[in-house]
Amino acid sequence: MERFLELNTFSIHERNQVVKSIIENIDYSKTLIEKDCLNNITHTISKDVVQNLIYFKSSEINTSDSVVRDIIVRELIRCEEKASGGSMVMIVILSKFLENIKNIKSRTERIKSLETLKDNIVHACSEISPYVEKADIKDIKKIIKYNNFSKDINRLLYGIIDEIDPRNGCNVERGNKRKSYVEKKSGHIFKSENLNLQLYNISKWKKENVSCILVDGIIERVSQINHVLELFSEKRSPLILICRKASEEVRETIRINFLRNTLDIILIEVGFELDFIHFFNDMSALFSCDYANIKKGDVISSMLKDIIFSIDNVEIEGKIVTLRKNRNNSSIFLKNYISDVSSTRYKIDESSMDIEELENIKKIIDSRVSFLSSTRSTLTIGVEDISYDPYTISKIDKLFRSLKDISTFGTVSIKNIKTNNDMIMTIKKSINKNIFSQKEIFEGFISAYSVYKSLIKAEKIFTIDR
């Protein structure tokens, strides 16, 4: 934020103008949250999100207003992206921080107030900490009830919550049907852009008891897989051969033998995109299998017995591949593996990347968790529920985003905290809900302090060029 600011001294008039614009912007930012603007954009956040969301003409707004609004809105978006619900905590706490700004008459006093507020945040967190509890289904259902969804949506959400791992969430879509409904999809699903079944003269490939071979690397020559072709020509059984990339020679050999009915092999190339960087490790965890790593010098033919494994059901349609197991692998290892993948979302060094890059990485993590999970629910919102509340989809999206924080960091029943702490009392009075995730409170505190620090340390504010 501070790159928007220059260090000079406020005149009394300038300081009053900044104070005025700050007070006006608090109400403005609350309106943004109430209209669910932030919920709608946090999935497709970009460098230009503020400019896309809001545009101010220079003739309509003064310098102070322009920069202050940008600072507050940018931090609101960042806070909401990091912790669902955190933006509301941020704005009410920032309001509290700014209550006495008119009485701060010198730069020294303003700087001193930062240390005082930092101590207040630490003290508030220490008072909240003993009240943090592991969330259970009852807590999550209370949060659902707080959102005032329609009866149908409540019923569907209760059913989803009873069945899914909260960390994996749920797909939410807008539908054309009158009523909302839930569709469950089983299997481990991924999309290969390089897959083209038309080359095999088929539109769909669905087989039982399919053998699978994984090759992390490029298959450049047919000689690398001669033993595979010979073995499956004799067995006459189906095989999917998954690799990073294959040469045209390899593709044509497999395709021609498939068309001649001498082989029932489908070649799947996943490429080197970031979405598939962990694909072979994830497959290894899912099916307790090994794979050939070309870069490490592995020779496919010499380790063939070790890398062939079986998948109960494989379905390929278009570019979508679905892998299914008849027995749900609920091993402790796999559960811990999925938990570790999910938790990497909270271990990213956000200071070293921009917002768009950060969002892409988090989407990849969410995609991995979705692939590793054996079942996935999709909630399609019907026309009736959209009419009942136009913000239903964004509210449900916000709910499922918050479940990851709730399951990882626990919840706080704010009304149960017996304290006179100003910051905690402000949350109690200003936000009409009881159960918060620990993360949304923490991120709200940090973001409010960040904005306050930027504004207090600024000695002259200038307009950002658009």
* pTM of the full structure: 0.58
Q: Are residues 89 and 36 in the same domain?
A: yes
With a pLDDT cut of 90, the percent of the chain lying above it is: 32
Number of domains observed in the structure of the chain: 3
pLDDT at position 65 is: 55
Q: Are residues 9 and 127 in the same domain?
A: yes
Name the average pLDDT for the chain: 79
Query: Strand 309-317 vs strand 320-324: parallel, antiparallel, or unpaired?
Result: antiparallel
Q: Are residues 110 and 25 in the same domain?
A: yes
Q: Is residue 23 part of a domain?
A: yes
C-alpha span between 454 and 2 (Å, rounded): 6
Q: Is residue 230 part of a domain?
A: yes
Model pLDDT for residues 32-59, shown as the tens digit of each residue:
555 555 544 444 333 333 333 333 333 3
Q: Is residue 289 part of a domain?
A: yes
Q: Is residue 96 part of a domain?
A: yes
As given in the structure block, the two tokens for residue 205 are 């490939």
Q: Is residue 363 part of a domain?
A: no
C-alpha span between 197 and 456 (Å, rounded): 61
Q: Which domain holds residue 32?
A: 2-132+411-461
Model pLDDT for residues 441-466, shown as the tens digit of each residue:
999 999 999 988 887 776 444 333 43
Q: Are residues 162 and 253 in the same domain?
A: no
Q: Are residues 160 and 225 in the same domain?
A: no
Q: Is residue 296 part of a domain?
A: yes
Query: Strand 309-317 vs strand 204-219: parallel, antiparallel, or unpaired?
Result: antiparallel
Q: Are residues 318 and 195 in the same domain?
A: yes
Q: Which of 284, 307, 324 is the last residue of a domain?
A: 324
Q: Are residues 125 and 144 in the same domain?
A: no
Q: Is residue 359 part of a domain?
A: no
Q: What is the CATH number of the domain that holds 263?
A: 3.50.7.10
Q: Are residues 211 and 167 in the same domain?
A: no
Q: Are residues 181 and 254 in the same domain?
A: no
- Measured in Å, how far apart are the chain's first and last C-alpha atoms? 16
Q: Are residues 166 and 128 in the same domain?
A: no
Residue 115, pLDDT > 80, answer: yes
Q: Are residues 162 and 38 in the same domain?
A: no
Q: Are residues 211 and 264 in the same domain?
A: yes
